[in-house]
Amino acid sequence: MKLLLTLLLGLLLSPFVQAQNLNNVDPDFSPATFAPYTITVNGTGFTGDAVVLWEGVPLTTTFVSSYQLTAVVPCCFSSTVSTVRLVVVLGNSNVSQSVIFRNLGNYAPITSYTPSAFHQGIPASLTVRGNYFIPGSQIYFDNAPQTTTFVSRYQLTANISGGSIDGRTRHSVRVQYPPVGTTGRLTPPVASFGSVIVNSSPTLSINFANLASTAMTITSIVKTGAAEFGQSNSCSSPLAAYSSCNFTITFTPTSVGTFTGQITITDSGLGSPHIISLTGQGVGGPSGPVATFDHTSFAFGSVAVGASSAPQTLQLTNTGGSAMTISSVMLGGANSSSFSMTDGCVAASPLAASASCNVTAITFSPLSAGPLSATITFTDSAANSPQVISLTGTGTSTHSVDVAWVASVSAGVTGYNIYRGTVSGGPYSQVNATLVSGTAYTDHTVSSGVHYCYVVTSYAPSGYNPQESVHSVESCTTVP
C-alpha cells in the first residue's frame, strides 16, 4: 500500500543566496588567430541565463554548472594586439567583476633569458622565460629561427650553434607564435609518457586542428617506430574549416628501456606532414604480486524482499611482477545471507603476472527490509592481503510511503534530503542514501502499524552558506 504526503519547501526559513563571482579564465591569453576558439570561465553563482561579455559584446555561452561557463570567441576577435575586459551578466542584470584577457598578436612577451652574454663561435644553451608561451612557439636569435623546445607556459629552450654567434656586442632574442597561416596545429605536438611500469598502459590525448577557412584533406595517418605505441583517432577527411579531431595515444612497454616513434599526418594544409613525436620509458614494476580490482564496492540500491538484483562481475588482475597465490574468496559480513556470488579466482590460482580472474553472479536478494551489507574478502600472496570488497543494498517491504514536495525557489539548490521520525517534532533520521534531484521520494523501509513523520531540506554545494536549509513543514502518516 502506498501513502502520498506533500511537503511545502517554498516556506523554508533559510533560502540559499550567493552572488556571482568571476575568478579566472582558461586560457587567459591568445596569440593572433583567425579561427574561433573556446574559453572556460570559472567562478561561482552562475545560472543558466549567464552570458560572457567580451568588451561588452555577448559571446555564445554554454552553462556548465554554477561554477563554470564556456564561451566561443569567434573569428576574428583575437586578430589584433590588445587586452580585453571580460564580465559575466546574468538574466537579472547582475554583473560580475571583470577579468583581463590578453591578445598577444604574433609575438610572446619575454621577461628574461640566460645566458645574458654570448661569445663568438661558442655554442650556448639558451633559456627564455615569459608567461604566455604555447606549443609551437619559436625562439628567434638575431632574427634567425631556432629549433625550440617547449618546456611550459613560462619557459622555452634552444641550443644556439657557435656559427650563429658572431662578434657583435648585442644579440636580439624574440619568441614568435606559430604562424597564423598554418592550417594544421597539433596540441601538444609530442606525446611524452615519461616512466611507465612494464605491462601497464596509460593514454594521452592529442588535438589536431584545421585553422583554415577551407576544408583540409587528410591523405594518410601512419604510425612508425616502436610497437609499444598505439593510436586511435576521430579524424575524418575532409576535416572541416575551423574544426578539429583527437588522437588517443597508448604506451604499453613490454620491457625495460626507452621507446620512440611518431605519427605522421599527411594532409593538404600548410606545414604538411604534421608529426606527433612519441616517447616513453619502460621501468620495472613491483617484483611481487599485486592485487588490482576493477571495483572496490558494489551498491545494489533498493530491491524488494524476496526479489533479486541483476548479477554483477568483479575482476581481479595481478599487476605485479610474479604469480599470485589465491587461497580463499569468502562472502561474509552482517547480512551475508542476503548476498550470493560464484568464485572463479581460487581455481585460477596461481594467477600469473598480468593475468585476471573473475568473481561472477554477485547478487543481492534481501531477506528483510532496510539497509543490508556484506563483504567479499580475498586472501592471497599479495602484500596488501586480505583485500575487502564492500556490498550494500536496501531491502524494501510491501508497504511504502510516497513523499512529494514543492521545489525550492532558492538559488543554487542541487537536491534534497528526506528525514523521518516516529514522533511529531522529531528527532529525525535521514532516509535517502544519496541526494534526491527531483521533488518526490518513495520510502520503502516502513513497517505496518508504525506512525511516521517526514520533513525535507534543500541542499547546495560547497561555497554556499548554509549548505543545507532548515526543515520543511512536517507531514505525518500511519502505515496500515
Q: So where are the chain's domains?
A: 2-12+398-478, 21-103, 107-176, 184-283, 291-394
CATH architecture label of 2-12+398-478: Sandwich (2.60)
The Cα 359–Cα 30 span in angstroms is 52
CATH for 107-176 (2.60.40.10, 2.40.110.10, 3.40.50.2300, 3.40.50.2000): 2.60.40.10
Pairing of strands 429-430, 184-187: unpaired
Fold of 21-103: Immunoglobulin-like (2.60.40)
pLDDT along the chain (480 residues), means of 10: 47 38 82 72 86 86 88 66 80 74 82 90 92 84 88 91 85 82 75 84 88 84 93 93 88 86 89 86 76 92 86 90 91 92 94 90 88 94 91 84 88 90 92 88 82 92 79 89
21-103 and 291-394 share one fold: yes
The region, left, alpha or beta by phi > 0 then psi within -120 to 50, assigned to residue 8 is beta
Give the tens place of pLDDT for each residue, 331-352.
999 899 999 999 999 999 999 8
Superfamily of domain 184-283: Immunoglobulins (2.60.40.10)
CA angle 256, 190, 103 (to 5 degrees): 150
Name 31's bridge partners: none
What Rg value do the Cα atoms of the chain yield, rounded?
A: 31
Query: Is the CA virtual torsion 315, 317, 323, 329 positive or negative?
Result: negative
Q: What pLDDT, on a 0 to 100 scale, did the predictor assign at position 345?
A: 95
Neighbours of 353 (CB within 10 A): 20
Give the tens place of pLDDT for each residue, 261-301.
999 999 988 778 888 989 898 876 666 788 989 999 999 99
Q: What pLDDT, on a 0 to 100 scale, did the predictor assign at position 390?
A: 95
Structure-derived torsion over alpha carbons of residues 140, 146, 149, 151, reported in degrees to the nearest 10: -20
CA neighbor of 273 nearest in space, from 232, 324, 218: 218
Q: What pLDDT, on a 0 to 100 scale, did the predictor assign at position 11?
A: 34
Q: What pLDDT, on a 0 to 100 scale, did the predictor assign at position 54?
A: 83
CA angle 28, 33, 36 (to 5 degrees): 80
Largest CA-CA distance found in the chain, in angstroms, rounded: 100
Q: What pLDDT, on a 0 to 100 scale, did the predictor assign at position 140?
A: 92
Domain 291-394 has CATH 1.20.1420.20: no
Q: What pLDDT, on a 0 to 100 scale, did the predictor assign at position 243?
A: 82
Sequence-separated (6 or more) residues with CB below 8 Å from residue 257: 281, 282
